Each structure stands twice: as structure tokens, then as C-alpha cells.
Amino acid sequence: MQNTEAKSSFDTSIQPITEKEFNNLRDFMYSLTGVALPPSKKSLIFSRLRKKLETLKFTKFEQYYEYLKQPNRDAEIEYFINAITTNETYFFRHTKQFNYLHDVLFPSFIANQTNFPKKEVSIWSAASSTGEEPYSLGITCKHFFQNNPSWRFKLYASDINTDVIQQAKEGVYNERAVKYVPDSFKKKFFTQEILDQGGINQKKYKISSEIKKIVEFRQHNLLKRFPVDNINIIFIRNVMIYFDKQTKTKVFNNFFDVLAPKGYIFISLSESLSEFEPKIKSMGTAIYQKV
């Protein structure tokens, strides 16, 4: 009896992902999103998809790959993308860029109103993850434009991962996420809550409805053109590093098409868009302006 149980347990266990299985799933992910997974992500795919294979009673990743390719698998493909895409961020990441917005860029817009006849600024957080970046932008806009009430601002936020969009809409964060938020902003734009999570009380911070209502979230694949034109500022940080040269060019052209004349693109400090000059010019601190 014990031998039978042991054999049954072995038969239903998930087998290690093979090189061929990894390559198939990697190529499938690339075709969907343009994200190029390096070989080092093999263990990540195994760990993030293992429970799904158990639920489907699959023992091999080959079975899951074939399952994904069947017709009418939109919901499963959405799960696959959500499971693989990495999302880790916090409020006011790369603080210097938000300071540049508040202290340099916004004042220059006010000073050159001929470029803004409607007194309206539009911003797109193009890989918004769980919302820390677009809400940081919202706080920055709210703080600056309170002294310029005739001006309006519009914030768009998008991500390919529908799970993180839902989290962003809820707007509840842990202490780590708000570690760089100034105390004055915490008091004004957040409410503290103590939530019971598995018998452990944890301090949480909920973004105010004042900020939440000014950010419009939507699901979007960067391989496609964003359905809004003449955007003044695009934040696309910590994303380009996952694209190969061909995909990066396609994504950049999608940004360039919707960017307003003399508009700005903000990327992460570890990235560069120098290969796209002279269409754009560097303004320092991983900031580029459309020429």
C-alpha cells in the first residue's frame, strides 16, 4: 500500500521544466508581449506556473504550453502573462525625476503658455504596475497646480498585467511602498489602516480618493499604439531593459507617435534611448525631449 501511494504521488508531481519547454514558453511570451526572457528566468517560470499546472492536473510544462495554444484561451493567456510579468516598485522611485517635474518642467509650461493654449497637461504612466508611479505623479501634479488653478492635468496609467491594475485601483500599500513619501504628503494624501492579515496586524496606507479619481487606469500592451494622442509626458521606466532591439524600436515608435511636440519621455536610470537621437534629445537624469 505504501509503495502504491508513493508511486501515485510521484506520478502526479510536476516534472522539472526542460530546455525545450522553457524555450517554447519564452517564445510564446515574446510573441504576446515583446518581453524577452533570458535563460536565468527558467526557475522563475517553474515557480510561478507550478500551482497552475497542479490545478490543471498537468505534470509537464509541455502540456501547459499546448493548452495555451488551443482556441479560446484568452483567460488562461491573461493568467500566464500576469504570472510571468514582474512588478515591484514604490512611491517616488527616482525622486530626482519627480523633483524635475515639479521644479523645472511644470514651471516651464506655465512660462510658455503658447505651447499650452488649453492650459492642460497630459501624462501617461505606461507601465504603471500596482499604481505607485501614477499616484506619485498625481500627488506631484496636485501639489504644483494647486497654485495654478486655471490649469488642468490628465493622468493615464496602463499595464499589460490585469492583476496589478486591480491592485492599483484599490490603492492600498504597505510601509515599504511609501518609505520615500514625505511626511506631509502621507498626512495629506493617505489614510493609515491596521489590517489583520493571517492573524498578524499590519500597517497599511490607502491613497486618498482625491488622488485616486484623477488617474485613469486601463489594460494596454506596449506593442500596440496607445489610443490617446498629444501626450506631454510619458513615464516608461524599468521596462525597456526587457526588450530586444527590434521590440524596443517598435515600442519607442509607438511612444513617439502619441507624444506631443516637444513632449518628454522619462525612463529609468539604468536605461538609455540614445539610439533614437536625433528624434529626441537628452535632458539629463534619464529624461528625453522630442525634437
Q: In which band, very low, low, confident or very high, does the pLDDT at 1 lie, cut at 50, 70 and 90? A: very low
pLDDT of residue 26: 96
For the chain, list the strands marked E by DSSP.
Answer: 120-125, 152-159, 172-173, 190-197, 200-207, 215-219, 231-235, 259-266, 280-284, 287-290
Q: The C-alpha cell of 252 is what?
A: 519607442
Q: Tell me what the mean pLDDT of segment 55-74 comes to.
A: 95
> Does the fold of domain 95-172+208-290 match that of domain 2-84?
no
Each residue of 245-278: pLDDT tens digit?
999 999 999 999 999 999 999 999 989 999 999 9
pLDDT of residue 194: 82
Q: In which band, very low, low, confident or very high, does the pLDDT at 144 lie, cut at 50, 70 and 90? A: very high
For the chain, what is the radius of gyration of the CA atoms?
22
Top-level class of domain 95-172+208-290: alpha beta
> Domain residues of the chain, as ranges?
2-84, 95-172+208-290
H helix intervals, 85-161: 95-100, 106-111, 132-145
Residue 92 has pLDDT above 90, yes or no: yes
pLDDT of residue 267: 97
Top-level class of domain 2-84: mainly alpha
pLDDT of residue 11: 42
Residue 38 has pLDDT above 50, yes or no: yes
Q: Tell me what the mean pLDDT of segment 168-180 comes to.
A: 95
Give me the sign of the Cα torsion angle 156, 215, 268, 282: positive
Q: Tell me what the mean pLDDT of segment 21-47 comes to.
A: 95
Each residue of 149-167: pLDDT tens digit?
999 999 999 999 999 999 9
